[in-house]
Structure 1
Amino acid sequence: MSSELAKSQISSTIVDSIEDLKGTHHGFRRAHARGFVYEAVFTPNGAAAPFTTAPHLQGEPVRATVRFSHTDANPHAADSDRAVRGFATKFHLTDGTNTDLVMVSVERFVAATPEEFVEFIKAAKADTDAQDPSVPHIKSFVGAHPTVGPALVAAKTIAIPVSYATTQYWAIHAFLWRDADGVVRPVRYSWVPEAGIVDASDSESWTPHHLTEELRDRLPVSFVLRVQFGEPGDPTHDSTVAWPADRRTVDVGRIEITKESPDQEHWQSQVFDPTSLVDGIEPSDDPVLAARSTIYAVSYDRRSHQR
């Protein structure tokens, strides 16, 4: 079996498993189903230029499109839920091409490989369906894959933010920056809110779309793009493991989100793909990252055909 065929098959299995766990909602993404899209401008500060030739990280401002989202597959999930949030960015380069950066409000993923992710979803489904709650399938999964424990704890205990603009987001995966001399360095990204990290003390009175409504009144909002540099021995292949907090970080630019996009319907149908990269940035050896483009393609095909 070719590697591409195997990737396609596991990607279809992942989407099947998500649908089995969460159900389907015609025309919506299989995850991050409900989101809202904004216009933005990213201004690099030049600090990345010695380390990567990526054009949007040099010196000139570039237009961007941002999608904030609730990660659930249900488009009617309430903003008062204790849930991971998404922050996807599409940078519009001057040559007419795009490059994407996809982040969520937790630092780690819940599986190190696509196959482990299928195991995780099936364990969650088994726990959901179990008549006997003394059979903890997720607990057994964590026992077999102990590095996923911190990610599950973080997702389960995550705070509800006051605003989309007051939480930090991470790209989860490692990427490789290549400089003009061909030197390669592993990096990880995060968006750090300039408004500070502020959690909600009470969300019970919120409307279902409170965070979108709150952001409408708050705009413009801004974030700093922070890059963490890996050192020898830091894993680039395993998104369940965070790098040590003492690794060097550099702030390389600022994004200002200015207004709601006037064409929500168009952008809701688009894909934000973390493997859509430009010269100067390369994917790491993370197998989950490698699979995401095919997973998104399967999801896109199903939602665009109203399955």
Structure 2
Amino acid sequence: MEQNKPELAKKAIDLIEHIAGTHPGYRRAHAKGIYCEAVFTPNGHASPYTTAAHLQKEKVKAIVRFSDSSPNPNMVDMFSPVKGMSVQFQLPDGKAANLVGVTVPVFITKTPEAFVEILSVMEKKPGPRDLLRMFIQYPESRAAFRIIKNTRPFISYSTSRYYPIHTFYFVNEAGEKQPVKYEWEPDDTWNCAAKREAAVHPADYLEAELTRRFLKGPIDFNLTVILGEESDPVDDSTAAWPKERQKITIGHLSIMRKLDYMEENIVFDPTVVPQGIMCTDDPVLRFRSEAYAVSFERRLKGQ
């Protein structure tokens, strides 16, 4: 039986706290992060598909937050295999649009109920048989766990590819909807100095490496979208689309500098999208908005 979403979100956050501990004032996931200032320059290639203001031809400012996925703000960088890159575009009308990516292209469950169930299993410190039963019950989770297991040691925020996981709809002037998946592709894909830094200082090397990287100039990413077809699932964040789908580059993000201080009051809710973009009925995408709200409320209260 499907549970009430706000109550399910509270249960999810409670379980995360039970598993990873409570860290007052921090996010319940991706607690350790670095804010940066950026400029996004669209190239107009998205215009046939969407009227979204930041995807036309005018530059917009953006705030970027790189992060470890762990709920523990003191987590050793090397031990947090999944990293995040959240972008908040500052729109011309004063509003904002969010794009939240991680270094894994699929999520671990297709429903929030299954996600909470897996958290419940993890809370009990499962043995091999418990994990086997979990994978049998939720076979769609195997792809994400396999990717995470095979992930190489993370070297640098600036050289990684980030996936916003969920499908969104682009909506054009005629009201036509085009399903898309986003990807952030880095201009730089290798950094020997960062690899050495990771080996010597595994606890907190990412922020130090990023600071030194900015001395060389901006960090750049291309924003691309994969154009979905009628047969592609749009409401299942565990499912990847065929590799032969058309991909187009729609803009360029130039991250200028690290912000030494930033109020922790930004909520990178992935469902905050502008006119010209629509959320799909992906239940995990919708659920994230509720979970982020619970996390933010506790942060504000210093819990």
Residue 46 of structure 1 is matched in structure 2 by 44
Query: CA-to-partner distance for each residue in 1:155-182, whole Å, 9 max, x for gaps?
Result: 2221223210111000010001101111
Q: Distance in 1 between matches of 2:32 and 2:265?
A: 11
Residue 155 of structure 1 is matched in structure 2 by 148
Deviation at 1:261, TM superposition (A): 1.8
Q: Distance in 1 between matches of 2:6 and 2:229?
A: 33
| Counterpart contact for 1:70–1:84, Cα < 8 Å | yes
Residue 189 of structure 1 is matched in structure 2 by 182
Are positions 1:247 and 2:245 aligned together? yes
In structure 2, stretches of 5+ residues that fail to align are none
Deviation at 1:233, TM superposition (A): 1.5
The aligned length equals 298
Q: Distance in 2 between matches of 1:80 and 1:262?
A: 23
Q: Distance in 1 between matches of 2:9 and 2:180?
A: 26
Using a 3 Å threshold, how does the CA distance of structure 1 residues 237 and 197 change in structure 2: closer, same or farther?
farther
Residue 9 of structure 1 is matched in structure 2 by 7
| Counterpart contact for 2:9–2:294, Cα < 8 Å | yes
| Counterpart contact for 1:120–1:138, Cα < 8 Å | no
In structure 1, stretches of 5+ residues that fail to align are none
What letter matches 1:297 in structure 2? A
Query: CA-to-partner distance for each residue in 1:89-124, whole Å, 9 max, x for gaps?
Result: 000011111110000000000010100100111122
Q: Distance in 1 between matches of 2:80 and 2:265?
A: 26
Deviation at 1:82, TM superposition (A): 4.8
Residue 298 of structure 2 is matched in structure 1 by 302
Deviation at 1:33, TM superposition (A): 0.3
| Counterpart contact for 1:82–1:156, Cα < 8 Å | no
Residue 271 of structure 2 is matched in structure 1 by 275
Query: CA-to-partner distance for each residue in 1:237-287, whole Å, 9 max, x for gaps?
Result: 1101111111110000000000112432x1x23211110111110001100
| Counterpart contact for 2:70–2:80, Cα < 8 Å | no
**TM-score if structure 2 supplies the norm length?**
0.94
What letter matches 1:214 in structure 2? E
Describe the SS at the equivalent of 2:154: coil
What letter matches 2:139 in structure 1? P
What letter matches 1:217 in structure 2? R
Q: Distance in 1 between matches of 2:122 and 2:191?
A: 30
Query: Pick from 46, 50, 55: which aligns with 2:53?
Result: 55
| Counterpart contact for 1:271–1:296, Cα < 8 Å | yes
Residue 167 of structure 1 is matched in structure 2 by 160
Greater Cα shift, 159-168 or 53-62: 159-168
Deviation at 1:293, TM superposition (A): 1.0
Deviation at 1:235, TM superposition (A): 0.7
Query: CA-to-partner distance for each residue in 1:67-102, whole Å, 9 max, x for gaps?
Result: 000000000011122510000000001111111000
Residue 215 of structure 1 is matched in structure 2 by 210
Residue 118 of structure 2 is matched in structure 1 by 120
| Counterpart contact for 1:119–1:141, Cα < 8 Å | no
| Counterpart contact for 1:66–1:89, Cα < 8 Å | yes
What letter matches 1:145 in structure 2? Y
| Counterpart contact for 1:190–1:226, Cα < 8 Å | yes
Q: Distance in 2 between matches of 1:302 and 1:167?
A: 31
Query: Pick from 144, 149, 164: which aligns with 2:137?
Result: 144
Q: Distance in 1 between matches of 2:146 and 2:122?
A: 14
Are positions 1:32 and 2:30 aligned together? yes
Using a 3 Å threshold, how does the CA distance of structure 1 residues 216 and 303 change in structure 2: closer, same or farther?
same
Describe the SS at the equivalent of 1:91: strand
| Counterpart contact for 1:40–1:64, Cα < 8 Å | yes
Greater Cα shift, 217-226 or 66-75: 217-226
Residue 97 of structure 2 is matched in structure 1 by 99
Q: Distance in 1 between matches of 2:289 and 2:280?
A: 14
Query: CA-to-partner distance for each residue in 1:177-209, whole Å, 9 max, x for gaps?
Result: 101111101000010000026697663421522
| Counterpart contact for 1:80–1:206, Cα < 8 Å | no
Q: Distance in 2 between matches of 1:246 and 1:123?
A: 37
Residue identity over aligned pairs, in percent, reads 39
**TM-score if structure 1 supplies the norm length?**
0.93
Q: Distance in 2 between matches of 1:23 and 1:280?
A: 40
